[in-house]
Structure 1
Amino acid sequence: MRAATFFDGEGWRDGIIDLVDGRMLLREESPASDLRFSGLPRLDGVIVGGFTDHHVHLQLVDHTLLHASALGGVVDLGANPAVVAALSAKMRGAENTCENSDGARNASADPCGAKNASESTFSGAFLTPHGTTTPHGTTTPHPTTHPIAVEFAGAFLTPVGGYPSDRDWAPEGSFREIADAAAAEHAVAEMADAGASCIKVASNADAGPVFTDDLFRAIVDTASARGLPVVAHAQGSGEAQRAARLGATRLAHAPFTERLDDDEIVAQAASVAWASTLAIHDADSAERVTAVDNVRRFHASGGTVLYGTDMGNGPTPVGLKPNELAALRDAGITGTALLRALAPQDPRDAASTLLRLPGTDADPALARPLTSADLKA
């Protein structure tokens, strides 16, 4: 048992972490005000829940690697609905079988998603073969795995001939070409019945046709009737503004086609959240500069920025992406604001992934899953 400081999604609080029936559980408790815990040793570092990537494509990556990462949840924004629904159920049910209550690795078939223990890797952050030195110069504990909460949109809804219907990377069944309101109603119902938590609309004027205003609104209205928000891939001149005006409540990418003026930024901040995806652009590209500038002003205006990487778009790490974190800091999102963008799970929830950070101001890329060995140090 250890006293601990933890992040509750908004700020830092006091708690106690204990090992119960082989599981580490955190409860909100102030050791300073409860004599039962007087003198309880304090955990070195702080606790946060598993982070969330709000834009991934699980069919385009080795999703098994996520179970040893600092991510506790993902939002898939474009996949075959039957495939991603099955993945969602499977990944939520994954058990932490890499470690027993003594912190030792089980000798049974490898549950970490790697071919063997020496290949268990958390791409882009800290988790390497146990007992070795990481890129950050620290020694890792035994690897652990944890369930991943998967929300998904199902298939892209796109106009006939629209993006990404002509892309080789788009898996079979990952898009639906919508010609009219009846087709929209059918597609939304299909995604809802598959378990979707949102609807993904492609509005990429740089890569083909986009929906008329009337058909876009019809999709929004149909989705709303099923309790599903619309997430838009808005690309091309004026598309980010149009998507927001027509009822999308989230953009899958921070706008990068053009610099939004200050009035447009304020309007978007009041009604739309942005998944960041800043690091999909080359470091010195005009698109990156534009996107970072838009995010900086959007955040300053009170807009909701959500950590998202478009995982699967190119050779992205399967796990937390340090380049995305660095880009968010470039946009002025730091400290607790950066943690909020990562939407960590509530560590008081018994189902959440528990992560350990060196301190309250530490780079989230330094987070690693908490192990029972941490309670013995």
Structure 2
Amino acid sequence: MTTHFLVGRGSVLPGFLDAHVHLALIDATLLPGGGIARVFDLGGWLPDGLNSSMPDLACAHQFITAFGGYPLRAGWAERGWSCAVASAADAAAAVDLQAAAGASVLKITLNSLAGPMLGTEALAAVVGRAHELKLPVVVHAEGAGQADRAFVAGADAFAHTPFSERLADDLVTAMAARMTWISTLDIHGWGRPTPAFEIASDNLRRFHAAGGRVLYGTDLGNGPLPLGLNSREITALLGAGLSPDDVLTALCSPAPLGLTLADTRVTFIPGERPRNPEDFADWLVTARALTRFELEVLA
């Protein structure tokens, strides 16, 4: 991560990434003004009229789920946003469909609280086909044992820090050796602590301490979240043991999940970086994502 300073103006960093958004549920044109230069759209249709005023993006296209599985019954998701897989025999066709639609990452849902889930063979087949196509696999894991299932199947990342149960220390250590976790801590209560928030924070604290790679992500579209940098998410990451520099790393990853996103914007943060970590989140949320031309004008 390289930081440049505009004398008397502020800091310029690589474009900030929100690694979990749903563009169909928000006005993505507002994100650059809130400091977000890049996003992962993790499931659902992209909005019509994608244009240069939106962040640079990688997308998953449809959710891969079981027939009747999450989010097919969720009120916020249209049926066409999901691709149902019945067996291992269906896996290749489902994954190929996402790749043909332009997906650069695959999203699988395993939610035992909201309907049927992919069986072991089908899950392994979906992950295997995605990896054959060089697509990293991100899993929504919810319910007891689902994070473990995703890990055993070879998932590359969790869409959310596991929040259903406290994961065993040895499992967390094993996950830290090869997985990436997308944070999304603030969705558990939106500033009001909940049991799920405490579980997720504890899991993330141990994952990070074991050397696991963390990406900043918010699940934008899910509840009252700001359209830009979220100070509550940043504060939660600091509370889970990440240092301010660790948070910047989580925001500025140059090739998250091995993906190379377009690089049309940088992030500009006005003013001097505070020395007090307690003021760090307030400083970050003043960020703006600027094009190279806008940065030259500012300079």
TM norm structure 2:
0.87
Tell me which of 183, 188, 193 is aligned to 2:95. 188
- May I ask how many residue pairs the two structures share in their alignment? 280
Q: 1:373 to 1:221 in 2, by over 3 A?
A: closer
| Aligned match of 1:238 | 145
Q: Partner of 1:179 in structure 2?
A: 86
Identical positions, percent: 40
Query: What is the aligned partner in structure 1 of residue 269 from structure 2?
Result: 356
Deviations 1:177-230 (A, max 9, x none): 111233221121111111111111010111111111111000011111111111
Q: Is 2:277 aligned against 1:368?
A: no
Q: Distance in 1 between matches of 2:99 and 2:61?
A: 9
Any residues of structure 2 matched to 1:194-205 within 5 Å, and which? 194-205=101-112
1:280 match: 187
User: d(CA) in 1 for partners of 2:153 and 2:132?
Assistant: 15
Report runs of 4+ in structure 1 exceeding 6 Å deviation.
none
Q: Of 339, 342, 347, which aligns to 2:251?
A: 342
CA–CA distance in structure 2, aligned partners of residues 301 and 176 of structure 1: 35
Q: Which structure shows the higher helix fraction?
A: 2
Alpha carbons of structure 1 residues 66 and 172: separation in structure 2 relative to 1, 3 Å: farther
| Deviation of the 1:322 alpha carbon | 1.3
Alpha-carbon distance between aligned partners in 2 of 1:178 and 1:195, rounded to the nearest angstrom: 19
Q: Name stretches of at least 5 consecutive residues in structure 1 with no aligned partner.
A: 1-6, 18-41, 95-146
1:31-46 equivalences under 5 Å are 42-46=7-11
Cα displacement string for residues 293-329 of structure 1 (whole angstroms, at most 9, x for unaligned residues): 1111110110011101010011222211111111111
Structure-2 residue corresponding to 1:130: none
**What letter is aligned with 1:273?**
T
- Cα distance between partner residues in 1 of 2:11 and 2:27: 30
Report the equivalent of 1:26: none
1:48 paired residue number: 13
Map of 1:252 onto structure 2: 159
Matched with 2:234 is 325
TM-score (norm 1): 0.70
Q: Given the alignment of the two structures, is residue 152 of structure 1 paired with residue 59 of structure 2, yes or no?
A: yes
| Residue 133 of structure 2 corresponds to residue 226 of structure 1 | yes
SS at match of 2:107: strand
Q: Is 2:87–2:121's contact at 8 Å kept on the other side of the alignment? A: no
- Whichever of the two has the greater Rg, that structure is 1
Partner Cα separation in structure 1 for residue 267 and residue 168 of structure 2: 40
- Assess if the C-alpha contact under 8 Å between 2:88 and 2:125 holds in 1: yes
The alpha carbon displacement at 1:266 in A equals 0.3
Gaps of 5+ in 2: 256-261, 275-279
CA contact (8 A) 2:185 2:201 kept: yes
Any conservation in 2 of the 1:232–1:252 contact (CA below 8 Å)?
yes
Contact 1:155 1:200 survives alignment (8 Å):
yes
| SS of structure 2 residue aligned to 1:173 | helix
